Structure 1
Amino acid sequence: MTKNPYISGLTGVSMRTVARELGVEAMSLYHHVADKEALLDALADWVFDRIPLPDPSLPWREALTRRWVDARATLSAHPWGLGLIESRRSPGPATLRNHDAVLGCLLGAGFPVPLAATAFSALDAYVFGFVLTEQTLPFEPGESAEEFVEALALPTDDYPHLATFIAAQVGPDYAHSDEFVIGLDLILDALEQRLSAVGLQVEGRQGP
């Protein structure tokens, strides 16, 4: 079974282990953070501080694409952050600033609050899920998807739909990571359609 890296990483976090990594006494850390929970709050904020804010000078769709591409890159580089960043009860300034900027991008583009909430949730769920999948794929180091599928040796008579899918999709140039932007575009397409429908409804109510 593939081990989830963020779980194994965070369960080992304690004031004592952090102090040992820093080469200091555990008690000296309490001059900087109150306890382990405060330390985890700071780590979550550290992650958000590395996700650039949406650029307000860009159209909303381009700005959000860049933001979530950056979020994926940051979480991929720091896999322990995936289970941490949305779990803290005391969010720090970088966390709040990032959320506020995303909402500002959505609301500024004309998203009503309920649709902005749905958009934020759907995009987060997609990106977090994609990163988690990437982190837990059962590939050996250096193994391609094509090699993994060949090793499975699935009987095509028993799994005809999988066989059709693999034959059409998985080849020498296939990379699971390539699916990310395609899926992100699908979500943004749907959000753009919903936003357009909201605009038409508003125009209809304002018409003669």
Structure 2
Amino acid sequence: MSYSRFAIYYVPPKGALAAFGANWLGWDVEEGTPGCQPDVPGLRDITMTPRKYGFHGTLKPPFRLKDSMTELDLRGAIETLAGSLKPALCEGLELKALGHFLALTPYGETDGLQRVAAACVADLDALRAAPNAAELARRRATGLSPRQEALLMEWGYPYVMEEFRFHLTLSGRLTEPQLRAWTQVLSTRIPALPTPFVVDQIALCGERLDGHFELIQRYTLAG
């Protein structure tokens, strides 16, 4: 399989939460196949934007490899990184509105998640190609703070390091009435959420030629 971009995600292990996310969004990132989306009016429309990424928490945002780097180079670097990282733990996950979209977000102490994400961004950066003009323009279109602009230029993405907030996306952009309505719908469908919430592995995912992401390999955090 040929991939145009790669990303480092947290992909929930097989179980009730992973199955829910795959079906809710309509794409199973682990299997690389469509999910069995529930027959809920409007669901396909509100999940159109996040669908191609699958149910995941971003650790290192999608990036292109430098011309001098290969997927094997990337796999080796991730294996080394995972071997040095300790798992991250927080109290649990909860459904929240993040701006104009809905997501599962961690609560309690999140320093461990910040640590894992920062390492994924920094330690793998030597393999990342610099963003092109179109990519930079797309990131700047929503308006960036001076710090976010600096992060974009340093790491290729504006919402990393101290601007990072771990989340598992469940919708695209919603209006205030939609946020309230879909929160009610989700609250009746989300399975029991993990307490504590543990990130003890990271996942290399690739963007296929059809634009959808799929899991390539999981790596256990063994530091």
Superposition TM-score tier, normalisation by shorter sequence: under 0.3
Question: TM (normalized to structure 2)?
Answer: 0.22
Q: Which has the larger radius of gyration?
A: 1
Normalized per residue, the structure richer in strand is: 2
Normalized per residue, the structure richer in helix is: 1
Return the structure number with greater relative CO, CA threshold 8 A, min gap 6. 2
Question: TM (normalized to structure 1)?
Answer: 0.23
